[in-house]
Amino acid sequence: MRVRLPGLYIALAVVLAGLIHVVAVLTLPLLAPRDAHARLGALGSANTMIQLPPVMPGQQVMPNMAPDVRYAVCLFDLSNGPVRLRAKIPDELWLIAFYTPIGENFYTVVGADMKRGDVDLIVTTKDQTVTDVAADATEGLEDLVVVNSPVTKGIALIRAPLAGPSRGSEAERALKATYCGAQASAPAATAPPAPAPVPSNP
């Protein structure tokens, strides 16, 4: 029995289309974080805090961003040593999360779990010990949190939910006061600028 070539071509096309669909579905979760990491890299250099603009429809830098949240990121690079991240958390709903370049979360700090508002983190690789970090530190280690990163390069994301519709500027000022950079040259944590006073009616 002979098989007509047009029918064979159609069957092969259907099988090939099915394989392409399966591969696309399986690789999409990996491609999305990598694409987000590339877009973040275009906004600023490594080991600096990058304050992201408010979310607008169709203009999300990363997946699942919310319009009632303000964001800042640091693309940390531990190639030349540990990286310091300092922030003053004004709200217990704030969150600092660390991710690999492909979007795997390996550490999270929640504002509600902090005993005080000052957050002082040192990100290191498995080859960098706490003693190595302390060599250049002028403070004691009792207030430091050492984050052991499984990767040399990754993403530190600060998520600041707004307490109300008019609190966007306050959250943006607090994010602007955060620091991410070489741990040896990290400045002392400073409080974010206070909101401008509201004039009272005479």
Number of domains forming the structure of the chain = 1
CB 156 within 8 A of CB 133: no
Using CA atoms, how far apart are residues 85 and 69, in angstroms rounded to an integer?
A: 20
Residue 35: inside a domain: no
Q: How confident is the model at residue 196 (pLDDT cuts 50, 70, 90)?
A: very low
Residue-level length of the chain? 202
Residue 170, in any domain of the structure: yes
* Cα 189 from chain centroid (whole Å): 19
Gap between the Cα atoms of 169 and 38, Å rounded: 27
CATH number of the domain encompassing residue 105: 2.60.40
Domain annotation covers residue 128? yes
| pLDDT, tens digit, 9 for 90 and up, residues 84-98 | 999 988 888 889 999
Environment class of residue 193 by beta-carbon count within 10 Å: exposed (0-12), middle (13-18) or buried (19+)? exposed
In a domain, 173, yes or no: yes
Pairing mode, if any, of strands 83-88 and 179-182?
antiparallel
Read off the pLDDT of residues 58-81 as tens digits, 9 standing for 90 and up. 777 777 888 889 999 999 999 998
Q: Which domain, by its residues, includes 100?
A: 49-185
Residue 42 is assigned to a structural domain of this protein? no
pLDDT at 189: 47
Model confidence band, residue 51 (pLDDT cutoffs 50, 70, 90): very high
21 vs 137: CA distance, rounded Å: 52
As a three-state string, the secondary structure of 149-178 is CCCCEEEEEEEEECCCCCCHHHHHHHHHCC
Residue 145 falls inside a structural domain = yes
The model's pLDDT over 115-126, given as tens digits with 9 standing for 90+, comes to 667 888 999 998
How much is the average pLDDT of 31-52? 78
% of the chain at pLDDT higher than 90: 27
% the chain with pLDDT above 70: 63
Determine the average pLDDT of the residues in 85-113: 87
User: From start to end of the chain, where are the E strands?
Assistant: 49-51, 69-77, 83-88, 95-99, 105-110, 118-124, 145-148, 153-161, 179-182
- Decide if 38 is inside a domain: no
Among 14-28, 31-45, 70-84, the minimum mean pLDDT is found in 14-28
Please report whether residue 20 resides in a domain: no
